[in-house]
Structure 1
Amino acid sequence: MTDDATLTELNTRIAAIRENIRELIEQAAAYSGAADQERTADRIADQEAQLAALLKKRDALLGKQDQP
């Protein structure tokens, strides 16, 4: 896969995960049960971890390693 195709795929996946996080936050605001809130918090944490990993890959691809 070329760098441009890889970058495009990473950007698409990043956008999708950001949208998932946004939706999960909206759902969390609507839930009232503790179990639902915990499950949603776990899902948000998982999505945030995936987002961080994708952002790191994208930065490495763009030559922005270890920048804040």
Structure 2
Amino acid sequence: MEIVATLSEIDQRIADIRENIRVLTEQAAAFSGAADEDRTSDRIAEQEALLAELLKHRETLTH
């Protein structure tokens, strides 16, 4: 993540990640097989971690 980002850039990245999580969740529901489920779960976890980091960064900018 960039050290310096505007609030609007962070908000856009947050929206993008939320969309990624939505798509991955839909894909997980459609996939069958443990390997696919594990891979999708890992990708969702990565996106959720990034989302948490961005939300934390956004919070520091707004306070």
TM-score by length of 1: 0.85
Q: Structure 1, residues 6-65: CA drift from partner, whole Å, max 9, x if none?
A: 1000000000000000000000000011000000000000000000000000000001xx
Give the number of equivalent residue pairs.
59
Q: Could you tell me which residue of structure 2 aligns to residue 66 of structure 1?
A: none
4+ residue segments displaced more than 4 Å: none
Unaligned 5+ segments in structure 1 are 64-68
RMSD: 0.9
Counterparts of 1:27-66 in structure 2, within 5 Å, are 27-63=27-63
CA distance in structure 2 between the partners assigned to 1:42 and 1:32 by the alignment: 15
Larger radius of gyration: 1
Unaligned 5+ segments in structure 2 are none
Identity of matched residues, %: 68
